Amino acid sequence: MSCAGVTPLLSALISLLSFLPGAQSGPYNDLIVDVYTDLHDFQPYQNYLQNVTYEEQIGSSLSMRGRIEELIWDKSRNRYREILDVLRRASEKPHFVTPPEPSLSHTCAHELYEWMRALGREKNWALRMLDSWGRPGSAIMQGNIQYFGEFTGCLRIETTEEDLEGAQIDGQYCLLNIKVSLSRDIYNFQSYIPNSKDSFKVEVKCHRDVYMESGTLIGITLLYSSLLVIVVLATFADFTLDRQGEERKSGDDTKEDGLAENDGIEAKINDISGSTSSKDEYLPLLKTMLKTKRDRPLVKILLCFSAKTNMKDLLDMSSPKDKDKLDCLNGMRVFTMFWIVFGHAILLSITTSQNPIQFFRDQGKSLWFQVMNVGTLSCDTFLLIGGLVLTYGKLNSWAKKGRKISWWKYYVNRYLRLTPLMFLVYLFAELTNPYWFTGPVTRRPEEYFPRCKDTWWQSLLYINNFNHGCYEWTWYLSVDMQIFIVTPIFLLAFDRKPVIAYVLCGLASAFSMSWTAYTSHERHVALTPMDKVEHYPPLSGDDFLEVYAVTWFRLTPYMVGMLIGYLLHRTNMTINMSKIVLLLGWMTVLAVSATLIFLPMNAHAFLTDCKPLTLTQAVLISTLSRPLWSLCVAWVVVVCATKNAAPINSFLSLGIFSIGTKLSYAMYLIHLFLISALVRSIHHVAFISLPNVFVLTNGVLLITAILSTVAHLLIEKPLSNLQDLYLK
């Protein structure tokens, strides 16, 4: 017996009975259809809805709730005996129901019959099953349209032989998902009555206990326990070698002081050599005998996994002596990573809240919400930093060491830098995620694995941004890698013919902006999915991702980064700016940034006073926002790197940000798995507020940082050490 988690008890039961073939043509026709038919008789009410405001429509609709419920219960009460008769006959005569699709099975009909009888007798188990059903409650106008019922209570329902004769009914939780394709735009969640142009699609997902297959469990355990054992052995070896080194150093100090034990060592050496030697003569021999084992090839490989050394490197906050280092980028990376984690945590937590609309309306015009809303620009910041670091670093290296280029290492190093951690994190998360938590909206394994079965290899080839298969948020890595593949053309041009590089960057940026403008016009998309364009409904998340994640949509920030990298290389990070130039520059950057953040503020589709963007405004915002944002970030980098903004540069270059920079890649890969698991583990929709958001996002950030540290020490840093050992 199933406990539904969405609709009221009798409505769901009546809907189920509508699948009876006999009910399709007999006196037991679908009562819901009857109700909708009767509702359409309220023509004055429908005419009234067309002439009142949104709030009045909602209020008036809710005032009709009593009349609608009375209509349903009247019909149900009048047909109660008829329904029981249908169920009784279906349970007694298996062939009473001719099975079309869908059909009510003989067993299901019998259990429904027994349950309704027990409910009429007020049996405890039947009442608890009724109590576990989800049903509409308060805050509907605030977006509370998810009714999960009582997940745990439903699963704990059991019957005994004394309760039933010839039947055993145990609770099974099922979630009824009703997808409505509307004939008109009601994105503002206006009340409406379905009409003949609307279509409904009903999906039922039933919970069941799932356990990981033994082969998968053994494979996962062996793989990651092997990595852990190697790290433990390497750390133990590292401590042992350090202790031996300290003992040898202590022995050398004692020898220098002329203590007795050194005389013994000297005597042994003289005995071996058959001659007498002074301390200066036997010292090289002593050092050879006591030479550390760290230089042996196998020891070098093992020590790459040492948690002691790798943790020391992670926590090293000392500023590098190399004046060419762009330390200000550390702070920018950390704050951008926080921006991404916060944005995703807020977005996903809202999807299972009971007041999403009211939350959007309350916070929609606040500063922090505007910053989160334009979080799509955070990826452009990372792309700009990527292009800048690559160009600046490679041109500086060529200037110091010559143009000796090994292009196969250029690509292999990049691939090995990104892929192992991504694959191992993905492998662990995808194979184990369905088993982490259980709840009404937990995905079942069959929902996870078929999606990844045919698309996992696309992530390894960095082409998954085109069809959004498995591990969707790695689209950024695909975009970055695809641009990286063609960067040698730009790098060689910057090194030999800078004018050609300027032209190439300009053409790439012009193409990107032109494509963005065309797509924005054709798809009616602005900067974010929440921005409403006049006369057009907002894009769905999947449709928006088709525009958002393609490579040519993101070319401009990378090109700006490469140009800034060449500028800093060319000037040796020495640019003197007058106070007037700095003042005008900062005023321009602040004005442009504020415009990008607040311009679409009144166009949020959920606002009661929403002012949609015109199609022209949407095209301009979508086309110019990323180039302008990139120029603002570039200004901050230039003034910090050239010491024209010393206070800001000092803050962004703080040593603690270097730790966040080293963990940023692992945090990017891990955070959405964590957020998704937490959201899908809930059993009841929760009220969301600003304090809740603050606690949630900071908690997610802390746990993500901890897990990223583990991934860094176990996978990322050891493999990076091996790469440095043999490929650089």
CA distance 309 to 371: 39
- Highest-confidence range of 62-76, 543-557, 573-587, 685-699, by mean pLDDT? 573-587
pLDDT of residue 233: 93
- Highest-confidence range of 233-247, 294-308, 458-472, 625-639, by mean pLDDT? 625-639
> Above pLDDT 70, what percent of the chain?
69
CA distance 241 to 237: 6
Mean pLDDT score, 87-92: 54
pLDDT of residue 204: 73
CA distances from 95 to 21, 101, 134 (A): 11, 15, 32
pLDDT of residue 668: 94
Neighbour-count burial of 717, counting CB atoms closer than 10 A to its CB (0-12 exposed, 13-18 middle, 19+ buried): buried
For 336, residues 6+ apart whose C-beta sits below 8 A from its C-beta are 378, 381, 382
* Between 288 and 534, the higher pLDDT residue: 534
- Residue 436 banded pLDDT, cuts 50, 70, 90: confident
Give the orientation angle of helix 9-17 with respect to helix 65-78, to 10 degrees: 50
Are the beta carbons of 502 and 486 closer than 8 angstroms?
A: no
Q: Which one, of 410, 384, 427, 23, lies nearest residue 219 by Cα?
A: 427
* Between 188 and 554, the higher pLDDT residue: 554
Q: Which one, of 548, 426, 411, 584, lies nearest residue 476 by Cα?
A: 548
Q: Which one, of 700, 211, 674, 207, lies nearest residue 439 by Cα?
A: 207
Q: Which one, of 165, 144, 207, 201, lies nearest residue 2 by Cα?
A: 207
* Between 470 and 695, the higher pLDDT residue: 695
Query: Does residue 156 surpass a pLDDT of 80?
Result: yes
Query: Does residue 728 surpass a pLDDT of 50?
Result: yes
CA distance 585 to 633: 12
pLDDT of residue 560: 96
- Residue 617 banded pLDDT, cuts 50, 70, 90: confident
pLDDT of residue 83: 54
- Residue 229 banded pLDDT, cuts 50, 70, 90: very high
Query: Does residue 7 surpass a pLDDT of 60?
Result: no
Worst-scoring range by mean pLDDT, 192-206, 315-329, 365-379, 653-667? 192-206
pLDDT of residue 88: 56
- Residue 387 banded pLDDT, cuts 50, 70, 90: very high
pLDDT of residue 638: 95
pLDDT of residue 660: 93
CA distance 68 to 36: 10
Burial 378-403 (b: 16+ CB within 10 A, else e): bbbbbbbbbbbebbbebbbebeeeee
pLDDT of residue 191: 39
Nearest-5° Cα angle at 72, 66 to 73: 85
Q: Which one, of 655, 668, 652, lies nearest residue 712 by Cα?
A: 668
Element (H, E) at 397: helix 378-401
- Residue 253 banded pLDDT, cuts 50, 70, 90: low
Q: What is the DSSP letter of 434?
A: G
Burial 337-350 (b: 16+ CB within 10 A, else e): bbbbbbbbbbbbbb
Mean pLDDT score, 459-473: 80
Worst-scoring range by mean pLDDT, 22-26, 534-538, 721-725? 22-26
Length of the chain in residues, anyone? 728
Q: What is the mean pLDDT of the chain?
A: 75
CA distance 715 to 728: 19
pLDDT of residue 527: 76
pLDDT of residue 431: 78
pLDDT of residue 63: 46
Worst-scoring range by mean pLDDT, 15-29, 360-374, 645-659? 15-29
Query: Does residue 279 surpass a pLDDT of 70?
Result: no
pLDDT of residue 97: 40
Q: What is the DSSP letter of 179?
A: E
* Between 140 and 184, the higher pLDDT residue: 140
Query: Does residue 315 surpass a pLDDT of 90?
Result: yes
- Sheet of 199-206: strand order equals 2-4, 172-181, 199-206
pLDDT of residue 248: 57
